[in-house]
Amino acid sequence: MKRLFYDVLLLILVFTMPWWVSLLFSIIGLLIFSKYYEFLVSSIIINTLSSPVGNYTLGKPFIIYLSIVIFYLTIEYLRSYIYLYKNEISHKT
């Protein structure tokens, strides 16, 4: 229930607030919830809404999307090494 409320709030923020507020809120969600795929979706929507219209040089959208995915995978990998998340992982097994 908490995750659903957080997702709805994030969706509202993506369309109503500046990009940096929405991105900060989605990064906090990434740190709070495990396997927070909504981070990827919200980041792509934020990038689509706030990027300028026109010709891109050197495949800039691809680089931004790739960096979003790499950031997500890095956080998910490092989560197992953070002390605060070790109890969460041990309870699931």
Binning the chain into helix, strand and coil, the percentages to the nearest 5 are 80, 0, 20
51 φ, ψ (degrees, to nearest 5)? -85, 150
Buried b or exposed e, range 57-81, using 16+ CB within 10 angstroms: eeeeeeeebeebeeebeeeeeebee
Q: Say if CB 13 and CB 22 are below 8 A apart.
A: yes
Looking at per-residue pLDDT, the higher value among 61 and 9 belongs to 9
Model pLDDT for residues 59-70, shown as the tens digit of each residue:
567 777 888 889
How many whole angstroms separate alpha carbon 89 and alpha carbon 28? 19
Q: How confident is the model at residue 84 (pLDDT cuts 50, 70, 90)?
A: low
Model pLDDT for residues 22-52, shown as the tens digit of each residue:
889 998 888 888 888 888 888 888 887 877 7
pLDDT the model gives residue 12:
93
pTM over 0.95: no
